[in-house]
Homo-oligomer: A and B are copies of this chain.
Amino acid sequence: MPETMTFYFDFSSPYGFLASQKIDELARAIGRKVVWRPYLIGIVYKTFGGAPVDHPLKKAYMLMDFARSARLAGLADANFPPDFPASPVTPSRVFYWLESIAPDSAADFARAAFRACWLGGRGVSDPEAAIEVASALGFERAAIIAGMQEPAVKDRLRHETEAAIAQGIFGSPVIQIDGEAFWGFDRFGMIEAMYRPR
């Protein structure tokens, strides 16, 4: 079993999207397995404030910086989803439902759901988008719809969000390695410098 790194993210997060498309490369470079952990960053903003979209200067910077960061990451076609900032509850629930029945498919779903919204123009909060992405991975539409409404799945997302915040996680992406947190897609270089096998 390789050691792990935990990838905390929110499906509505621009830098979470960039991280989702590059994390596998980082994981290979440092020889770790990624544990994907979507959570609801809105709960952090509700509790502590700090939402970038509430800060006009930070919001303007983020719009510019996201385009630049996407270009440098080889994802120049990326765009904010039409419903940004949107609730990530639906894709997060589909993720945890998949993880409960077919663990290997959950990360595939997350990568593809991010692409559907940030490269394909779909809405993050649009249930049809999440359903189509999961269908394309071979799951039945009716099962997806039932799965994402299961009380255990809803509880799981709530629990994962509380557990992330209890550990001090407040951003997206945050990569946690051996208990140490790295906040931001712009820290991938630091992680690689610290953990690449010599």
Give the interface of A toward B (CB within 8 A): 44, 48-50, 54-58, 60-61, 64-65, 68, 72, 165, 168-170, 180-181, 183-184, 186-187, 189-190, 193-194
Contacts and interface: CB of A to CB of B under 8 A. Distances in A.
Contacts of A49: 49-50, 54-55
Contacts of A165: 57
A187 B186 contact: yes
How many copies of this chain does the complex contain? 2
B186 A65 contact: no
A57 B48 contact: yes
B48 A181 contact: no
A84 to B, nearest CB: 20
A100 to B, nearest CB: 28
Contacts of A187: 186
A61 B170 contact: yes
17 contacts: A44-B57, A48-B55, A48-B56, A49-B55, A50-B50, A50-B55, A57-B168, A57-B169, A58-B170, A61-B168, A64-B181, A65-B183, A68-B180, A72-B190, A72-B193, A72-B194, A186-B187
A55 B50 CA distance: 8
Contacts of A55: 48-50, 170
Contacts of A64: 180-181
Which of A44, A72, A168, A169 lies at the interface centre, i.e. has the most chain B CB atoms within 10 A of its CB? A168
Contact of A60 (B68, B168, B184): B168
A50 B165 CA distance: 18
Nearest to A56: B48
A165 B50 CA distance: 18
A183 B61 contact: yes
Given A57-B168, A60-B168, A184 B183 contact: no
Contacts of A168: 57, 60-61
